Structure 1
Amino acid sequence: MDDTGLFPQLAGTLKGGVLLALLLHALALVPQWRARYFNPRFLNLTLTGLLLGVVHGCVIALAQRELAAGAGADVAVAWALAVAGTLNVAIAVQNLLAVHALVHLHRPSAIAAQRLRGAVTPMAWVSAGLAVVAYFAL
């Protein structure tokens, strides 16, 4: 594979970001499972984040295959997937903080999660939209 474009240079980092997001979303399930109580809002957010992570991973794999030939859209695809992955990690961190605050009654986590709460839904939509943009840019 030709490593002259931006996307081939960032492919490993993008994969790592997707794995980090998937891991953080999965970790948000552990405290709820231990407490034997699943909050529907947190569970919905976790499943949405896991789905977004899988979609991002699929688009990255497709982009690696398509951009190996040296297509010119690698900069747009790389930036779209980088921002989408970063937003998914931010969603995962907020969800993990909220779950930790709920299960362990941890006030600092609750304050941090509450400050990020209003941005979660727009971040999820933008992340999904950027994955679609990256797909169609291929």
Structure 2
Amino acid sequence: MISFFKKKEPALVSPVEGQLIPLSEVSDPVFSEGMMGPGFAVEPMADELYSPVTGIITSIFPTKHAIGIKRTDGKEVLIHIGIDTVELKGEGFEIFVHEADKVTPKTKLAIVDRAFLKLQGKESTIMILFPGDTNSYDIQSKSVVAGDEVL
């Protein structure tokens, strides 16, 4: 039998194994107060970071601490790696994608050297943000693995 129905992809998945937390619990008020838009965060337990969505890479910051993705529905997603990690000027991050690359939740975006971040006094919390989105997201704290459906 042939099925004409496509399998529905999760709207959003965890980009890394770790502890899912509401954005309001992030230690930096720029994120916890929603100044960068709504979203959620993950306290990572692994160094490999995957795309949380299907889309196209729109930007990779020169300091490698943030990656922008445009979802297939046109909405923007910003992945911000760590707190105050812009100060590391790219050290501690290995990026595997380029601007205009197509990505899915199976695409490895980066490896984050969490041990290096810790030595530099930086938190490795990963924020998934939706700039310009006016929705609020009810995220509950829970353990997740990369690819677990979040929203």
Same fold (TM over 0.5): no
Structure number with the higher strand fraction is 2
TM-score range, shorter chain: under 0.3
Structure with higher Rg: it is 1
Relative to the length of structure 2, the TM-score reads 0.24
Relative to the length of structure 1, the TM-score reads 0.25
